[in-house]
Structure 1
Amino acid sequence: MARIQKKGKAGAAKNYITRTRAVKKLQISLPDFRRLCIFKGIYPREPRKKKTVSKGSTAATTFYYTKDIQYLLHEPLLAKFREHKAVAKKIARALGRGESGDAARLERNLVPKIKLDHIIKERYPTFVDALRDLDDALSMLFLFANLPSSEHVPAKTIALCQKLCHEFEHYVIVSHSLRRSFLSIKGIYYQATIQGQDVLWLVPYRFVQRTGGDIDFRIMGTFVEFYTTLLGFVNYRLYTSVGLVYPPKFNANMDAQGAELSAFQIEGKSVSTNGERLHGEVSAAATSEAQEVADRIANVPDAEEDQPENLPVAQDDEEENTETIDKFEAVAPDADVLPQPEASSAEAASLFAPYTFYLARETPRAPLEFILKAFGCKRVGWDATLGEGAFTTNESDPFITHQIIDRTPLPADAAEAIDGGGAAPRVQWPRSTMPGRIYVQPQWVWDCINQGKLLRPDLYGPGAELPPHLSPWMKPKKGEYDPKLPLHEQELEGEAEAFEEDDESASEMEVTDDVEDARDAMERESSVEAGEGMHVASSDDEEDEDDDGGDQRPAVEDEWEGFDSDAESDISEGEAARLQHQRELEAEATGNPLEPEVETARSKNAVVRKKVEKKRKEQAEERERQKMMLSNKKRKLLKRIEYGSNKRDAEAENLRRKKRRLDRTSSNKGAV
């Protein structure tokens, strides 16, 4: 006879363990348990049958996999945590005795140093695995790099995050792996393609951060400790893959003066004729040999064959443009949108390469410098107040081709006041613009890199109304509103005519209301005497009112024809036929030819709208007849599908209506 299985000894009850039991089993404190779980990537689990696992208890309990806790029993960090706890007891005992010197000596010599190298190797056995998990690491480190130092976030941690982030940005600049960027409310999104993996991270805007007391910086600090170790390994691997020395040399004096990226000096490795390695130190702000070597490595195709230097290479006309990327275009009008290939590193390196940029002092220097250098620009200057490391700080340098500004032009009266009296500013922009220089707003840079080409700079000029800045990761689906396409390509049949008719009727109602309000105001002014609060009618006025038969307002209404002079648009078809027949009889009696009726735009829209409504009504009736042949279950399913489709179509139509109204408003302003 088989042994009876006891309850709670097998199945789901054995596969899960509570957090309290896990802490007792590992014999560590709860903060150390949380820290260890973050390092090892172990998270709480939610069992399917929580009541069975908790043995009938309904209290809120956190569960973990039992095998995960058993896996933690062999972790070397447990011994480090216990050593740290023992040293902490000794330090506390020394402080209690007043022996501060002994406490400092114990903290300096006996506190164990925790290294996470073995955990990085366990969690990421291949380098591709580390790149796939780099999104959260970069977002967290860039966040801490912009935080102010406090008792929860020490300055040493912030400096380490800034150093690692700048090193990663230098690799992106050298390899030209940046592909897209987007300015959002949360911050600036960047996407780089590194060894075939898309890495997306978020960089917050630079403003004064006020950290509240409801944030648990201990848990965030644990993640930062793990991510700094991870990014250090990744940076080393990335630098060595493109022939650069890691870590790069760091100039603390330039960093103190706000150099940021320019405070790092890149060292490139090159091999001499004797086979000995030579180390060349070059500044990151200027053209460096290491960057040229890295560019050549990135641009060399995989199947390149070695050819003698003396032999000429014959290239046909068809093979001249082999580096350009083919674009896939749909042949059928209703076909799906094909995903287009992204720009290569060679195209990214040549986008801003031949130009020299100057950043005004009101522009965000750090993101603009990073993006411009990542897309080939090696000459970026800015105002001296923005920090060190600029290519030039002279705004009137003749070699500057583009100047990025973010301020509106001076009005005429302000410019005259500046010229007339008072001390004139050093740079009277835009009255002192340099000839031959292009002035654009910062959004021009982001839109150019997202579209992979240089856009028209006049659309982004000073004080110009900028085009919409759209997300480069947005992929419009069929039937949804696409802001990149014109309205006539995506609007439904009869939608434009319906909008015109509705807009005209709405404008007429507004004008009619304004006229009525003005008429009422005039009547009130004429009926109220100066200095009196109410009207006192005289006997003559009463006699005039009696003779006229009451109020004069109906007579005014009879004289006012309103704006609905085209009465035929609202009459029925029978009445229109009767009026047409009457015109024919009058023309026959007078002997004059019948003049053709002038068809107005409003009547045309009404005819088109009637046809579209009739067609839609027929389609709806046909659809209802088809539904009658379905079963009840399929009919309900189709109803849910139609509900979602109708909701999506209504949202798209509303967006198109807003776009059409904005276009009309802008056109009216341009006409004025």
Structure 2
Amino acid sequence: MGRIKKKGTSGQAKNFITRSRAVRKLQISLPDFRRLCIFKGIYPREPRNKKKVSKSATPSTTFYYTKDIQYLLHEPLLNKFRDHKALAKKIGRALGRGEVGDASRLEKTLKPKITLDHIIKERYPTFVDALRDLDDALSMLFLFANLPSTTAVPPKTIALCQRLCLEFEHYLIVSHSLRKSFLSIKGIYYQATIQGQDILWLVPYKFVQRVTGDIDFRIMGTFVEFYTTLLGFVNFRLYTSIGIVYPPKFNASSDERGGELGAFTLEGKGVGSTQQAIEDTPMTNGGLENKSAAAQAEADKVAALPAPETENEESTALVERNEDQVTEAIDTFEVTAQDADVLPQPQASSTETSTLFAPFTFYLSRETPRQPLEFLLKAFGCKRVGWDGVLGDGAYTTNESDPAITHQIVDRPPLPRESLPALPEATASEVPENGAASKPTALWPRATVPGRTYIQPQWVWDCVNQGKLLRPDMYSPGATLPPHLSPWVKPKKGQYDPSAPLAEQEREGEAEEYEDEDLDEEDGEEDGEAEMVSQRNGKKKTNDVLLDRDDEVKVGEGMDVADTDSGSESEEDEVPGEEWDGIPSDAESDIDEAETTRLQHQRELEAEAAGVPVEALNGRTAPKSKAAEARKKAAKKRREEEEEKARLKMMLPQRKRKLLDRIEFSTEKKNKEAELLRKKRRKIEKAKAGGKVVG
């Protein structure tokens, strides 16, 4: 007879352990156990059969892998937690004896310092592993950087998160690693590519955050403690990889004045010389004159070149120039057939997009979000970003009338001058030397500077996502902005694409069907109105007839009530088939003719005003047009395709036929959704073309 196995020593019961048993085994408190699991990256597990794992298991029981708990037995942080627990007992005894000085001394001298450096090295053996796990870290740290300081969130933690996030943004600006950004209801999404790894994180808007009491900030604080250590290591590696000294110099006074990115000074290979060259370059009228002088010098050099002696030299130069132009352009793959696959189009190189805003000087109005705009503009090559002094320190210029400004970002529509308040009088400090007080210069929204482009903030995001400069007139102040679409959602075949023209997405004959539906709806509305008018006139005529009959009633006439059924039957037999409808036939015909004449006249007036033939508007004649023939051909083609599919489906086995039915069902559902969206867009475009307001 074999040995009987003891229950709970093999199988799933051995592989899993409950949380209470794990806490007893590690001999630490539950909060310390949670903290240790977050640091080590150990999470609860769900066994397949809870009854086999534990006899008294309930749905609320939490299980862990037994090997994970054994791995925690050798963690050096366990000793730190135990030392902290022993120190808490000593401090409690000292406070119980009234020895407050001894308690504070014990807390200062014996408090254990916890470092997570060894855990970072264990969890991320290579730097690429750390970059892959950076999404959640950046989202959490940017969130805490925008939180107000409370008892649960100390100011030191907020300041540390702000410093690490700004250092990471400085690296993205210098290395031009930022790729895309998107404005959503949750916040602003950013995507950067660092050493081939795509990193996506979320930054909340600069609103006042309302911290509620149903959030466990102890758990979130533990994550923040780990993520700050991780981002510190990542920032150090990133800065040293491009030759920049880490940590950068931090100006506390500038940060107090709202400098943020401007409070840091980078030092390293080529960083200081580039910044000094930018600061020394005069970007005023003199700078513009220097540019024109340089352009004139280049033109003089070209004019001084010897002219080609023969026609062959001219043709050779022309061919070379054309070849250069062709090689610089980006090839595009066009679809040759309707059912062909859509090939991914080549994107512009990172060097082109990194200098997208380099030749411009931007000025941010007071109502625009300064922090994300400054970061985006600088990350894509702009070196000169100015704003009003009330937005903070670190601006290139605070003078809105600076002639070097090429683009001004505003976020309010132009208002009539009568609704604007009067300009304030010049103060004593603004009075010039001659003593005459001059009024301040009237700028936006009272006036615009000639040669300056005024745009809304969405222009920056759309240019970044598309990798090119878009038309600024579509983003002018007060204009209806184009849809801001997510750059990560790629339209698939058969789905609705809001960025593509409507004619490219419609199936064959769909536009004509929509026109027929509109005409049917209009005819139905007109028929309904005519029916309501006729009913109203008919009721009026009926009342008039009844009044006339009441006047003519004589004595003895009226409604006689029969005592028996036979009497009523005899009365019915006397006048067979005569029923009074309330309106005589002559009156009804007169009303119908009058109403028809009136509607005909109204339709003729509408057709004359709209420039449409009367026959097409009335719907009396339906001449065969090319659109109708195209609709018939499309319907016939679809019918033949459906019949062919049905014949082919009959030859399939039942199992594959059911699978094909499920595929067709999901495809048909997607097609209906796309068709509904196209119909809405077609209606909106038609309303805009007609000058109507769509609600």
Cα distance change on mapping 1:153 and 1:5 into 2, 3 Å = same
Q: Distance in 2 between matches of 1:323 and 1:114?
A: 58
Query: Corresponding residue for 1:591?
Result: none
- Does residue 170 (structure 1) correspond to residue 208 (structure 2)? The answer is no
> 3-state SS of the aligned residue for 1:81?
helix
Query: Corresponding residue for 2:450?
Result: 435
- Does residue 480 (structure 1) correspond to residue 495 (structure 2)? The answer is yes
Q: Distance in 1 between matches of 2:172 and 2:537?
A: 71
Query: Corresponding residue for 2:373?
Result: 368
Query: Corresponding residue for 2:511?
Result: 496
Residues 361 and 404, structure 2, Cα contact 8 Å, conserved in 1: yes
1:103-159 deviations in Å (ceiling 9; x for gaps): 222222211111000000001111111111111100110011111111111111111
> 3-state SS of the aligned residue for 2:498?
coil
> 3-state SS of the aligned residue for 1:267?
coil
Q: CA deviation at 1:267?
A: 1.2
Residues 409 and 457, structure 2, Cα contact 8 Å, conserved in 1: yes
The one-letter amino acid paired with 1:18 is T
- Does residue 211 (structure 1) correspond to residue 249 (structure 2)? The answer is no
- Does residue 507 (structure 1) correspond to residue 522 (structure 2)? The answer is yes
Q: CA deviation at 1:46?
A: 1.2
1:563-578 map, 5 Å: 566=615
Query: Corresponding residue for 1:3?
Result: 3
Q: Distance in 2 between matches of 1:172 and 1:196?
A: 14
Query: Corresponding residue for 2:597?
Result: 559
- Give the TM-score, by structure 1 length: 0.81
Point out the structure with the larger helix share.
Answer: 2
- Does residue 614 (structure 1) correspond to residue 636 (structure 2)? The answer is yes
More displaced, 609-618 or 333-342? 333-342
The one-letter amino acid paired with 1:379 is R
Question: Which consecutive unaligned segments of at least 5 residues does structure 1 have?
Answer: 271-278, 290-315, 528-533, 572-596
Q: Distance in 1 between matches of 2:591 and 2:85?
A: 94
Q: Distance in 2 between matches of 1:535 and 1:244?
A: 98
Aligned-residue Cα RMSD (Å) equals: 3.6
> 3-state SS of the aligned residue for 2:226?
helix
Cα distance change on mapping 1:178 and 1:509 into 2, 3 Å = same
Cα distance change on mapping 1:629 and 1:398 into 2, 3 Å = same
Cα distance change on mapping 1:266 and 1:3 into 2, 3 Å = same
Residues 15 and 66, structure 2, Cα contact 8 Å, conserved in 1: yes
Cα distance change on mapping 1:547 and 1:132 into 2, 3 Å = closer
More displaced, 46-55 or 359-368? 46-55
Match of 1:329 among 323, 333, 340: 333
Q: CA deviation at 1:638?
A: 1.3
**Rg comparison, structure with higher value:** 2
Residues 262 and 283, structure 1, Cα contact 8 Å, conserved in 2: no
1:56-113 deviations in Å (ceiling 9; x for gaps): 7444311111111111000000000111111122222333333333222222221111
Query: Corresponding residue for 2:41?
Result: 41
Match of 2:664 among 642, 645, 651: 642
Cα distance change on mapping 1:484 and 1:282 into 2, 3 Å = closer
Q: Distance in 2 between matches of 1:165 and 1:323?
A: 40
1:304-453 map, 5 Å: 326-327=330-331, 329-330=333-334, 332-333=336-337, 334-411=339-416, 414=419, 427=442, 429-453=444-468
More displaced, 353-362 or 499-508? 499-508
Match of 1:632 among 642, 651, 654: 654
Query: Corresponding residue for 2:556?
Result: none
The one-letter amino acid paired with 2:513 is A
The one-letter amino acid paired with 1:386 is L
Identity of aligned residues (%): 65
Residues 285 and 378, structure 1, Cα contact 8 Å, conserved in 2: no
Residues 545 and 583, structure 2, Cα contact 8 Å, conserved in 1: no
Q: CA deviation at 1:385?
A: 1.0
Q: Distance in 1 between matches of 2:617 and 2:253?
A: 82
Query: Corresponding residue for 1:455?
Result: 470
The one-letter amino acid paired with 1:369 is E
Cα distance change on mapping 1:283 and 1:156 into 2, 3 Å = farther
Query: Corresponding residue for 1:266?
Result: 266
Q: Distance in 2 between matches of 1:343 and 1:76?
A: 50
- Give the TM-score, by structure 2 length: 0.79
Q: CA deviation at 1:496?
A: 0.6
Q: CA deviation at 1:466?
A: 0.7
Q: CA deviation at 1:223?
A: 0.6
- Count of aligned pairs between the two proteins: 600
Query: Corresponding residue for 2:687?
Result: 665
Q: Distance in 2 between matches of 1:34 and 1:393?
A: 50
Q: CA deviation at 1:546?
A: 7.8
> 3-state SS of the aligned residue for 2:191?
strand
Cα distance change on mapping 1:323 and 1:366 into 2, 3 Å = farther
> 3-state SS of the aligned residue for 1:179?
strand
1:68-107 map, 5 Å: 68-107=68-107
More displaced, 146-155 or 44-53? 44-53
Q: CA deviation at 1:457?
A: 0.5
Cα distance change on mapping 1:568 and 1:260 into 2, 3 Å = closer
Residues 353 and 468, structure 2, Cα contact 8 Å, conserved in 1: no
Residues 259 and 388, structure 1, Cα contact 8 Å, conserved in 2: yes
1:418-440 deviations in Å (ceiling 9; x for gaps): 69xxxx99745344100000000
Match of 1:654 among 651, 676, 686: 676
Q: Distance in 2 between matches of 1:510 and 1:632?
A: 49
More displaced, 622-631 or 462-471? 622-631
The one-letter amino acid paired with 2:681 is K
Q: CA deviation at 1:640?
A: 0.8
Question: Which consecutive unaligned segments of at least 5 residues does structure 2 have?
Answer: 282-319, 424-438, 553-581, 605-613
Q: Distance in 1 between matches of 2:356 and 2:79?
A: 54
Q: Distance in 1 between matches of 2:280 and 2:324?
A: 29
Cα distance change on mapping 1:515 and 1:109 into 2, 3 Å = farther
Q: CA deviation at 1:566?
A: 5.0
Residues 534 and 595, structure 2, Cα contact 8 Å, conserved in 1: no
The one-letter amino acid paired with 2:645 is R
Cα distance change on mapping 1:98 and 1:478 into 2, 3 Å = same
The one-letter amino acid paired with 1:199 is I
Query: Corresponding residue for 1:139?
Result: 139
Q: CA deviation at 1:611?
A: 3.1
Residues 361 and 405, structure 2, Cα contact 8 Å, conserved in 1: yes
Query: Corresponding residue for 2:244?
Result: 244
